[in-house]
Amino acid sequence: MSQLKQALLDKISNGTVHVGIVGMGYVGLPLALAFVERAKVKVTGFDIDQTKIDALKVGKTYIMHMGADRVQQANATGLFSATADFNRLGEPDALMIAVPTPLTAQREPDMKYVVSTGEAIAKRLRRGQLVILESTTYPGTTDELLKDILERTGLKSGVDFFLAFSPEREDPGNKQFNTATIPKVVGGVDPDSGDIAAALYQRGLERVVRVRSARVAEATKLTENIFRGVNIALVNELKIVYERMGIDVWDVLDAAATKPFGFMKFTPGPGLGGHCIPLDPFYLTWKAREFGVATRFIELAGEVNVAMPRYVVDKVQEGLNEQRKPLKGSKVLVLGIAYKKDIDDPRESPSFELIHLLLERGAEVIYHDPHIPVAPGMRSWPDLPPLKSEPLTPALLKSTDAVLISTEHTAVDYAMVLKESRLIIDTRGVYREPHAHVVKA
Ligand SMILES: NC(=O)c1ccc[n+]([C@@H]2O[C@H](COP(=O)([O-])OP(=O)(O)OC[C@H]3O[C@@H](n4cnc5c(N)ncnc54)[C@H](O)[C@@H]3O)[C@@H](O)[C@H]2O)c1
């Protein structure tokens, strides 16, 4: 075994390993805290966003489901610190990269954050360091793109430094699983890198799933998200088919879910949301082109899911029509703008597309979300007017022509909404019993 490998494994096993995490967002921060709390090792969080660093330094959180107490406790251990000083990237023994991997306007992988992080690390890369990419990406990113950037230093991967990929499986708001208890898939660019990365995660997390290569690990993450995207598209399509037949898709799915094998329940909705499912599958589509193969399921699922907001807005229009009202000029309350239940993350939320379409058809749009007091500016919808969450009161509901339930939140009083509203368009199956003024969409 190489001396460098042995030295890192020793540091991992005796707890002196210093971990650096680049990108203190939804993925990086929980990962940093998991390593402090469970592995009890020194962790430095890096971010280009000084406001995040300042918040962490004074024990504040900017992620709803991550209590400030956890940041404070991590600070109090003396093991955790955060910095925007990238000159310090040479200090940690292991660097994990959790920066964004969005799509460009042409729906191609936008690797600029990974590239700039790789270049920042390369400037300070030293012998014996381990670098692990955590950002979701196409197979080959780690052992082509990142390896290339890091090897421009003259240091060689698998010899002078170690390189691996390990995808994140965060499920914000999930009370059953957290960063530490979700099994972690790890694959090295070479066997030594895989061994060291696996040993490191083993120290901080409950279960490590070692795979043969970084590419397998990259493809595993994409496969998981494609599986979700395709199945969500399927139930969205079934929703439309059954609705025409006068069958409630929610009744069907509840019943099908009683099958103890061979069925997994997915639920329909107003479209896809979040940073992962709407974007990640297209990373594979892009890479597949290089090999001359088409990803037809991904494209088809994308088509079905992207059409959902328009379907839902048509339902609002039809519901109002039944009440002899045009959508134009009607006041519509969008209820819930986070991309999913009980979280404060609005990224890629279909609610913004719904708001955009409603405004386009002349509706007056307001929203309520208990977790998002002010709707942030969204890159994909630059023309939306500034909106803030309206207090959800009987008076507000009475003055509203239609309520569009876009995201279900536990904190919302749906019984009150049912009682006080004139028309409800329910995209989340909140109301299972039929009501004359509730349209399922
Ligand atoms: N959010 C999730 O639930 C989730 C789940 C699984 C995988 N992922 C993947 O994890 C990656 C990170 O996602 P996220 O949700 O944590 O994003 P995020 O936007 O919450 O966090 C990314 C952080 O990286 C910082 N950053 C951007 N460029 C940087 C740079 N060059 N150097 C240092 N910091 C930089 C940003 O300021 C931000 O704080 C993405 O690839 C995403 O697809 C996210």
Burial label for 433, CB within 10 Å (0-12, 13-18, 19+), is: exposed
Averaged over 4-9, what is the pLDDT?
98
**What DSSP element (H or E) covers 398?**
helix 394-398
Mean pLDDT of the chain, nearest integer: 95
100 CA distance to ligand 1 middle (Å)? 4
Give the pLDDT score at 120: 98
What are the residues facing 157 on neighbouring strands? 161
36 CA distance to ligand 1 middle (Å)? 19
CA-CA distance, 412 to 367, in Å (whole number)?
Answer: 13
> Does ligand 1 come within 6 angstroms of the Cβ of 216?
no
pLDDT tier at 8, thresholds 50, 70, 90 = very high
CB 315 within 8 A of CB 271: no
Tell me the three state secondary structure of residue 184.
strand
65 has a pLDDT exceeding 80: no
> Does ligand 1 come within 6 angstroms of the Cβ of 168?
yes
Averaged over 150-156, what is the pLDDT?
98
Q: In sequence order, which residues have a C-beta less than 8 Å from that of residue 125 and are 6 or more positions away?
A: 90, 131, 150, 153, 155, 161
Pocket-testing residue among 99, 222, 339, ligand 1, by greatest number of atoms within 8 A of Cβ: 99
Residue 123's CB: how many other CB atoms inside 10 A?
12
Give the pLDDT score at 435: 96
Give the pLDDT score at 64: 77
167 has a pLDDT exceeding 80: yes
> Does ligand 1 come within 6 angstroms of the Cβ of 205?
no
Give the pLDDT score at 314: 98
- C-alpha dihedral (379, 381, 383, 387), degrees to nearest 10: -100
Kindly report, residue by residue over 205-229, the tens digit of the pLDDT: 999 999 999 999 999 999 999 999 9
Measured from the CA of 49, which atom of ligand 1 is nearest?
Answer: 37
Averaged over 425-437, what is the pLDDT?
96
Q: Whose CA is nearest to atom 33 of ligand 1?
A: 47
Half-sphere exposure of 239 (CA within 13 A, CB side): 27
Q: For tokens 């540091």, what's the residue?
A: 11
173 CA distance to ligand 1 middle (Å)? 17
Kindly report, residue by residue over 78-107, the tens digit of the pLDDT: 999 999 999 999 999 999 999 999 999 888
CB 425 within 8 A of CB 403: yes
Tell me the three state secondary structure of residue 105.
coil
114 CA distance to ligand 1 middle (Å)? 10
CA-CA distance, 369 to 320, in Å (whole number)?
Answer: 23
Kindly report, residue by residue over 260-296, the tens digit of the pLDDT: 999 999 999 999 877 788 889 999 999 999 999 999 9
Give the pLDDT score at 67: 85
174 has a pLDDT exceeding 90: no
Give the pLDDT score at 303: 93
> Does ligand 1 come within 6 angstroms of the Cβ of 417?
no
270 CA distance to ligand 1 middle (Å)? 25
Averaged over 389-415, what is the pLDDT?
98
Kindly report, residue by residue over 289-318, the tens digit of the pLDDT: 999 999 999 999 999 999 999 999 999 999
> Does ligand 1 come within 6 angstroms of the Cβ of 218?
no
CB 307 within 8 A of CB 232: no
Give the pLDDT score at 230: 96
Kindly report, residue by residue over 331-377, the tens digit of the pLDDT: 999 999 999 999 888 888 999 999 999 999 999 999 999 999 999 88
> Does ligand 1 come within 6 angstroms of the Cβ of 46?
yes
Residue 88 per-residue DSSP state? G
Kindly report, residue by residue over 234-266, the tens digit of the pLDDT: 999 999 999 999 999 999 999 999 999 999 999
> Does ligand 1 come within 6 angstroms of the Cβ of 117?
yes
Catalytic residue ranges:
276
CB 397 within 8 A of CB 403: yes
Pocket-testing residue among 21, 22, 24, 27, ligand 1, by greatest number of atoms within 8 A of Cβ: 27
Tell me the three state secondary structure of residue 301.
helix
Report the percentage of the chain scoring pLDDT > 70. 100
